[in-house]
Amino acid sequence: MNAPNKSGWKPAMEAAEEGGVRGPVTTTGNRALMLEEPLLFEIGHAETTGVDLPPIGEGTSPRLGGFERSDPIGLVGLTEPETVRHYTRLSRQNYGIDLGFFPLGSCTMKHNPRLNEKLARLPGFADIHPLAPQSSVQGALEVIDELATWLKTLTGMPAVAMSPKAGAHGELCGILAIRAAHTAAGNPREVVLVPESAHGTNPATAAFAGYKVDNIPATPEGRVDVEALKARLGPDVAAVMITNPNTCGLFETDFRTIADAVHEVGGYVYCDGANFNAIVGRVRPGDLGVDAMHINLHKTFSTPHGGGGPGSGPVVFSEALAPFAPLPYVEKDATGELHIVEEENTDEEHQTFGRMTVFHGQMGMFTRALTYMLSHGADGLKQVAEDAVLNANYILRSLEDILHAPFADSGPCMHEALFGDKDFGGGLSTLDLAKGLIDEGYHPMTVYFPLVVHGAMLVEPTETESKASIDQFITAFRSVTERALAGDESLKQAPYYAPRRRLDETAAARKPRLTWETPEG
Ligand SMILES: *Cc1c(COP(=O)(O)O)cnc(C)c1O
């Protein structure tokens, strides 16, 4: 089945040999059931097809007029079993939450209850079209409306835009609404303030919306430096973007003070709500003075995410920003019938900045998120936050004796535990530790983020892990950390047991090879 190695990759076994793992080099490159998998182009042949179609009969002409193709397009053909095996093998090289603990900080990689999947697959939700007559999809619109009500209630905010398709897309939606509000008041302003611990999407969003970005420093305790922020405020500041709980895993205890100061100079407060999992059911961002906040349904509300999608990032708005929310939105009329509002409307209450997407948003994500909310109930969601925070603190306190825990003295963390590198021996770094965890069977935690902590390691267990699985992770993490402290050089070659070994991460980002070429050409 495996074609000769045409593209220069090294079979895992050969690579493992180089790294000092002993064992026979197999002819296929396979290691028992860990199978090597070439590209489709390397397995298939242009002359092969997977199906036998009867030849086109004499005298029949293709119906494409003069447009039928005269040259082969060079796509390879495979048999059905070859195709199925190819994708199944690739899927086995993937790591996912269904395979093991996925402690990727800031990403809230939690278990996705199968009940969500079951409901999302109901034909009444899965098979409808966004242009279907509205009277025929009242149930689906009801899901959107009900989910919107939950989001407004949980955040204490009066309006929500459901259409943004990810957290970063939601940020853009929020900042565009802020820009529209300032513009309506006569001046869009110039600057958005972003703390130095912010997720990279925050400054990117502000710049994309045409703003200059100014950094606000953090205090040694890992929170926004309120005095520095106040000193920077002025009539040029359109908004601040603050993540709460922040990416150091801490609650911004001065949030209300910050919001009041920003409002005083006529600015708006954007909250990055990616970490809502830590406070859902316990804190309503509306009470803290937030004007706009995205919610990653695919984080807090369990719908699957990763690899770029699918995601959903609804944005809640304050009274002041609600008129500027994007189209389209779902509205209930006096008779209880639901409608999708598509038209621009330019009265006081409707000054929309435009739209983020063509249609209403990610129906599959909406159904999953609402299922998750209804199955937990309001009390259950509160417990989600409490358990997520408990689990993170358990990890923090279990590892602070051997890792640098920069903010451990600031009190309990929220839903993620932040560590920094320590005096690892032999020039070993956070990266080596992360790679060592792969050999232990774990997806590594987030590394080198946030930037304010040297060699940062951000660990987020979420509430869905049992004590047993967290204990096992702590044991593995301790063991790899002890090896790093002892300067165990073998960590520099880790991972040994993954389908691929150390990749050149700089070249992968700077010089990606995105097309396949035949070896000859
Ligand atoms: C995940 C995340 C984002 C971006 O969300 P996407 O859905 O990935 O676009 C923004 N900010 C923080 C803090 C995040 O963790």
DSSP letters, 399-459, are: HTTTSB-TTGGG---SS-EEEB----STT--HHHHHHHHHHTT----EES-STTSTT-EEE
**Residue 7 pLDDT class (50, 70, 90 cuts):** very low
d(CA 451, CA 195): 11
Q: Of all protein residues, whose CA lies closest to atom 4 belonging to ligand 1?
A: 167
> Which residue's CA is the nearest one to ligand 1's atom 5?
167
201 lines ligand 1 (CB under 6 A): yes
Which of 5, 97, 184 has the alpha carbon at shortest distance from 462?
97
> Using one digit for the tens of pLDDT, what is the confidence trace for 25-50?
778 777 777 788 888 888 888 888 88
Local confidence band at 450 (pLDDT 50, 70, 90 cut-offs): very high
Q: At what angle do helices 363-399 and 138-155 cross, to 10 degrees?
A: 30
| Residue (of 354, 357, 338) closest to 346 by Cα position | 354
Atom 8 of ligand 1, residue of closest alpha carbon: 167
Please report the DSSP string for 202-258 in residue order. Answer: HHHHHHHTT-EEEEEPBPTTSSB-HHHHHHH-STTEEEEEEESS-TTS---TTHHHH
> Contact, 424 vs 255, CB < 8 A?
no
> Which of 272, 275, 279, 459 has most ligand 1 atoms within 8 Å of its beta carbon, as the pocket-test mutant?
272
How are beta strands 446-447 and 457-459 bridged, if at all? antiparallel
> What is the pLDDT, as a whole number, of residue 414?
96
Atom 3 (ligand 1) nearest CA:
167
Q: What is the pTM (predicted TM-score) of this model? A: 0.90
Alpha carbon of 167 to ligand 1 centroid (Å): 5
Name the pairing type of β-strands 457-459 and 292-294: unpaired
Between the CA of 106 and the centroid of ligand 1 the distance, in Å, is 7
Binning pLDDT at 50, 70 and 90, where does residue 15 land?
low
pLDDT score for 503: 86
User: Can you tell me the distance from the alpha carbon of 407 to that of 420, in angstroms, rounded to the nearest whole number?
Assistant: 10
Question: In angstroms, what is the span from residue 326 Cα to ligand 1's centroid?
Answer: 20
Taking each helix axis as running N to C, give the angle between helix 201-208 and helix 167-184, from 0 to 180 degrees, rounded to the nearest 10.
Answer: 40
Give the ligand 1 atom nearest the CA of 296: 7
Q: How many helices (H) and strands (E) does the chain have?
A: 15, 12
pLDDT at 520 over 80: no
Is the CB of residue 110 less than 8 Å from the CB of residue 297?
no
Of 333, 367, 332, 340, nearest to 134 by C-alpha is 340
Question: What does the block give as tokens for 307?
Answer: 């690899």
Q: How far is CA 341 from CA 141, 142, 329, 332, 361, in A?
A: 12, 14, 5, 10, 13
CA of 201 to the centre of ligand 1 (A): 7
Nearest Cα residue to atom 15 of ligand 1: 106
Residue 466 alpha carbon to ligand 1 centre in Å = 25
CA–CA distance, 163 with 356 (Å, rounded to integer): 7
- Mean pLDDT value across residues 158-169: 96
In angstroms, the CA 2 to CA 484 distance is 38
- Report the nearest-CA residue for atom 6 of ligand 1: 167
Establish whether residue 311 lines the binding site of ligand 1, counting it when its CB lies within 6 angstroms of any ligand atom.
Answer: yes
Give residue 199 CA to ligand 1 midpoint distance, Å. Answer: 7
Instruction: Write the CB contacts of 250 (distance below 8 Å, at least 6 apart in sequence).
Output: 221, 222, 223, 407, 410, 413, 414
- 166-187: pLDDT as tens digits: 999 999 999 999 999 999 999 9
Residue 111: both structure tokens together: 């278990």
What is the chain's alpha carbon radius of gyration, rounded to the nearest angstrom? 26
| Ligand 1 centroid from CA 169, angstroms | 9
